[in-house]
Structure 1
Amino acid sequence: MTQIAIEFNNVSKRFNHAKYNAVDDVSLNIKEGEFITILGSSGSGKTTLLKMINKLYEPSHGIIKLFDEDISTVDSVILRRRIGYVIQHVGLFPHMTIAQNVASVPKLLNWDKQTINIRVMELLKLVGLNPVEFMDRYPSQLSGGQQQRVGLARALAVDPKIMLLDEPLGAVDAITRLNLQDELLRIHGGLQKTFLLVTHDINEAFKLGNRVVIMNNGRVSQFDTPRNIVASPADNFVNSLIESSRSQEKFWEGLR
């Protein structure tokens, strides 16, 4: 039986001085090994929802569980070391080499040097970077897409069961973005970890997610497979997202 990796029970978040909840009474379960995408416009609550999983934000109400453990009972630092986290602008340490960046958390956990070196090499290979060519470079010597790959390798370093990706491809060009989408699918398929990826791009959300969370005004409008969402949109907002994507397709067809 497949285990529930992440569970939200009536979770809400309201920031100080805000009139409305950024996340409003969300309840959902994510199974181990799923690739879940969280789709919504700016201000929909998608990033807030993601950041509550690793306690960058604390919920105002409700309970979040990881593998049936209430995260409010877990030290924040310990929790974050169990979770991979990748953001849009990577956040690599500029004064460290690529190898040192990838090894940063294992070093904090006092792994021995040989184990770290082996892990760095296998991770760089996993994300499509030749270790011999890239280990001793610095982030400023890499393209945006290469930096994003290093960020992914660093997040995978301690073999977390859960990976959180907050619009990781938003700052790269269109061709690189498509290539990295394919790489994410390949990596996820090979590792069978639970991936959650935030995006505002419906095509990206439906390509990557085996299920998609669609958020609007802090609430979940629909949580289902891409096929089911397209076949039966839950409300007008979901329908408008689908129609906007279809109108883009018609534009390209008109140029043929």
Structure 2
Amino acid sequence: MSLIAIEFQNVCKTYANSNDLAVDHVNLSIREGEFITILGSSGSGKTTLLKMVNRLIEPTQGKIKLFGDDIAEIDPVALRRRIGYVIQQVGLFPHMTIGQNIATVPRLLKWEKTKVDEMVHKLLLLVGLDPVNYLNRYPSQLSGGQQQRIGLARALATNPNTMLLDEPFGAIDAMTRLNLQDELLRIHGGVKKTFLFVTHDINEAFKLGTRVIIMNQGKACQFDTPREIVAHPADEFVASLIQSSREQERFWEGLK
């Protein structure tokens, strides 16, 4: 039986100078090894929910557990070293080579050089980049899609069992985005880690997620497999999302 990797227990978040709940009494359990996508429009609470897992944002109420540990009782720096984090603005260090970028945290943790070198080589292969060609390049010499792959490799460098991905493909062109989605599914299948992936794109959410959290006005409207959500939308908001996606499909069908 799978372990519970992440558990949200009655989690709420209210920001200063606002009476509205950015996250409104969320109760969810995510199993180890799942690929969970969090879908919602701007302001729905999806990124707030994600960032509370690594304590970049602290909940106003409730409890979040990571493999049974209350994260409020874990030092934030120690917690973040247990969690990979990938964002849309990759944030590679421009003065460092690709190899040095990937090795940043292991070197801070004083890993042996041999172990670091082996890890960097392995991760470049994992994200589909030849170490011979990319190890000594600099970020400015890479495309946006290649930089995002390096960001993913860097997040995997300490072998975390949980990965948080905050709209990592949002600034990537459509063709590259589709390729990166396929690569991410391949990587997830190979590493068996728990992925939480924020997106506002319903097609991306349903393609990647073994289960999907649909957020609206701070609430988790529905949390289920893509197939079940399409077959049994929980409310009018979820139904409207599905309808809008189907209308897009009909538009493309009409161009044939």
TM-score (norm 1): 0.99
1:36 alignment partner in structure 2 = 36
Amino acid paired to 2:195: F
Question: Stretches of 4+ moved more than 6 A in 1?
Answer: none
Cα distance in 2 for partners of 1:204, 1:95 equals 33
Structure 1, residues 35-92: CA drift from partner, whole Å, max 9, x if none? Answer: 0000000000000000000000000000000000000000000000110000001111
1:191 alignment partner in structure 2 = 191
**Backbone CA RMSD of aligned residues:** 0.4
2:45 alignment partner in structure 1 = 45
Amino acid paired to 2:33: G
- 1:192-211 alignment runs, 5 A limit: 192-211=192-211
1:243 alignment partner in structure 2 = 243
Amino acid paired to 2:34: E
Cα distance in 1 for partners of 2:40, 2:4 equals 24
Cα distance in 1 for partners of 2:125, 2:3 equals 29
Amino acid paired to 1:5: A
Deviation at 1:101, TM superposition (A): 0.4
Amino acid paired to 1:82: R
Amino acid paired to 1:127: V
1:17 alignment partner in structure 2 = 17
2:79 alignment partner in structure 1 = 79
Amino acid paired to 1:193: K
Amino acid paired to 1:203: N
Deviation at 1:95, TM superposition (A): 1.1
Cα distance in 2 for partners of 1:18, 1:95 equals 41
- 1:69-148 alignment runs, 5 A limit: 69-148=69-148
Deviation at 1:19, TM superposition (A): 2.0
Amino acid paired to 1:168: P
2:254 alignment partner in structure 1 = 254
Amino acid paired to 1:177: R
What SS does structure 2 have at the residue aligned with 1:33? Answer: coil
- 1:151-190 alignment runs, 5 A limit: 151-190=151-190
Cα distance in 2 for partners of 1:50, 1:118 equals 31
Amino acid paired to 2:239: N
Cα distance in 2 for partners of 1:61, 1:19 equals 14
Task: Name structure 1 gaps, 5 residues minimum.
Answer: none
Cα distance in 2 for partners of 1:18, 1:144 equals 36
Structure 1, residues 207-250: CA drift from partner, whole Å, max 9, x if none? Answer: 00000000000000000000000000000000000000000000
1:229 alignment partner in structure 2 = 229
Amino acid paired to 1:138: Y
1:54 alignment partner in structure 2 = 54
Structure 1, residues 2-47: CA drift from partner, whole Å, max 9, x if none? Answer: 1000000000011111120110100000000000000000000000
What SS does structure 1 have at the residue aligned with 2:149? Answer: helix
Structure 1, residues 126-161: CA drift from partner, whole Å, max 9, x if none? Answer: 000011111111111100000000000000000000
Cα distance in 1 for partners of 2:97, 2:19 equals 45
Amino acid paired to 1:34: E
What SS does structure 1 have at the residue aligned with 2:7? Answer: strand
Amino acid paired to 1:161: N
Amino acid paired to 1:100: Q
